Copies of this chain bind each other. A is one copy, B any other.
């Protein structure tokens, strides 16, 4: 074992394991059709209908290429509509269809149940700490890449 490190102390390796574990739990408890990133996009459009792709991507932390794929899949399933912005011909304005809204509502319930199961091994205080610590590390790391961009809206 000369030279090997203990990966269970490496946050990156743990982050990957955590994400995979969540992926599997989502599949078994929430949906086999809609993925967690797809739900995040739908959720952003429930909060703010009519956003363009780029902005949705910023809201849910998906880059321009990935958001395009996710949106194309949601569109193919009839959960979302794309319309050219008449004011700005580069943009597509996105909004959920009736079906999309219904699906989002249904998954919201299941997601809450899944979150409980996922966090069940922790006490209530630990759950809050867990959420807060991850958020701080993720925020900081994301901030390293977008040095200029303020996190709160800038008018």
Question: In the complex, are the beta carbons of B129 and A133 less than 8 A apart?
Answer: yes
- Chain B nearest CB, measured from A89 CB (Å): 28
Question: In the complex, are the beta carbons of A15 and B140 less than 8 A apart?
Answer: no
**Distance of A121 Cα from B140 Cα, bound (Å):** 7
Question: In the complex, are the beta carbons of A2 and B138 less than 8 A apart?
Answer: no
User: Is A54 an interface position by the 8 A CB rule?
Assistant: no
Known: A40-B7, A48-B1. A20 touches B61 (CB 8 A): yes
User: Is A64 an interface position by the 8 A CB rule?
Assistant: no
Q: How many copies does the complex hold?
A: 2
User: Is A72 an interface position by the 8 A CB rule?
Assistant: no
- Chain B nearest CB, measured from A102 CB (Å): 11
* In the complex, chain A residues 42-65 whose Cβ is within 8 Å of any chain B Cβ: 43-44, 46-48, 60-61
Would you give the 0/1 interface string for A88-108, flagging 1 where the beta carbon is closer than 8 Å to chain B?
000000000000010011001
Contacts A/B (CB < 8 Å), 20 sampled: A1-B46, A3-B108, A5-B111, A7-B40, A10-B111, A11-B119, A12-B26, A12-B36, A14-B138, A15-B18, A17-B138, A18-B18, A20-B61, A21-B138, A120-B140, A126-B133, A129-B133, A130-B133, A130-B134, A133-B133
Task: List 9 extra interface pairs beyond A4-B44, A14-B134, CB under 8 A.
Answer: A1-B46, A4-B46, A11-B22, A11-B131, A12-B115, A14-B131, A22-B141, A24-B145, A130-B137
Q: Nearest 3 A-B pairs (CB), nearest first?
A: A21-B141, A4-B47, A121-B140
